[in-house]
Structure 1
Amino acid sequence: MLKVWPMIFILMILSISGCTLKFDEPVNNTSIIQPTITPTPTPIPYIPEHSTVYVEIFGSEFNPSVINVVNGTTVQWTNQDSGQHAIYVNNINSPPLNKRETWNYTFNRPGTYEYNCTIQSWMQHGRIIVK
């Protein structure tokens, strides 16, 4: 029986040592966080398309009477009145326009252009602003 006690004693020590808490030392995290770099988008320059803008002459009025356009834009006037109209713009006079006839002019320089009807000079004047 004496030989059993040393064996029990060794088993108790082993079982007690297995129940002890073991604290791990904190891990030193030395990794460096890299910031995320988002590329800045390159702005696309505004490239205006050359287009045609329409002005209707009706009731002895220009509609619209004021237009903002980009360089290279063509303006087309259409006479919807029964009487004749002729457009005077930038020192150029259109031929007389009968009903449903049109006349075009392309604005190739920035500026403000006043226009009017030379046949019915009492009509409102129009304005085209070219940027």
Structure 2
Amino acid sequence: MKNKIFVAILLIAVLVLSGCTNKDNVPGANTNTSADDIKYIEIYIDDYAFHPQSLTISRGDTVRWTNNDSVAFIVKSSSFQSPTLTKGMTFTYTFHESRTYNVYLATHPYTKSGIIVVE
């Protein structure tokens, strides 16, 4: 009988104390980052070209391409490829490797390419 009471008290104590942790002080505990919290570096596609055409960013930065043309495009490099982007659609990519990326519009190879330098 004493063991059952002890186990019950122990269980209640664990349940009560489990709600006492401060998740803000636990590394990695606050992982509910919404898309609104991410800061994007913007590139717009207008008149069959990237605006800006060249860009220097830091490792870990996220770039967002937005198609403002009425024509569909696929943004491509040796490291990534977007889906087909129709007018108003966006594509994001986070750059983790320091190097120079040549980016082009795969659906319209005669257009000017872009350059993204990751430091």
Is residue 2:58 matched to residue 1:70? yes
- What per-residue deviation string (whole Å, max 9, x for no partner) do you get for residues 23-79 of structure 1? xxxxxxxxxxxxxxxxxxxxxxxxxxx842100000111000100000000010000
The structure with the largest helix share of the pair is: 2
- What per-residue deviation string (whole Å, max 9, x for no partner) do you get for residues 64-112 of structure 1? 0100000000010000000001000233211000000000000001010
Q: Which residue of 2 aligns with 1:116?
A: 104
What number of residue pairs does the alignment pair up?
82
Q: Mark the structure with the bigger radius of gyration.
A: 1
The one-letter amino acid paired with 2:71 is G
Q: Which residue of 2 aligns with 1:86?
A: 74
- Structure 2 CA distance, aligned partners of 1:68 and 1:92? 18
Structure number with higher relative contact order (C-alpha < 8 Å, ≥ 6 residues apart): 2
- Structure 1 CA distance, aligned partners of 2:93 and 2:101? 12
> What TM-score does the superposition give when structure 1 sets the normalisation length?
0.60
Q: How many percent of aligned residue pairs carry the same amino acid? A: 29
CA RMSD in angstroms comes to 1.2
Where does structure 2 lack aligned partners over 5 or more consecutive residues?
A: 1-37
Q: Kindly report which structure 2 residues correspond to 1:1-131, keeping only aligned pairs within 5 A, or say none.
A: 51-131=39-119
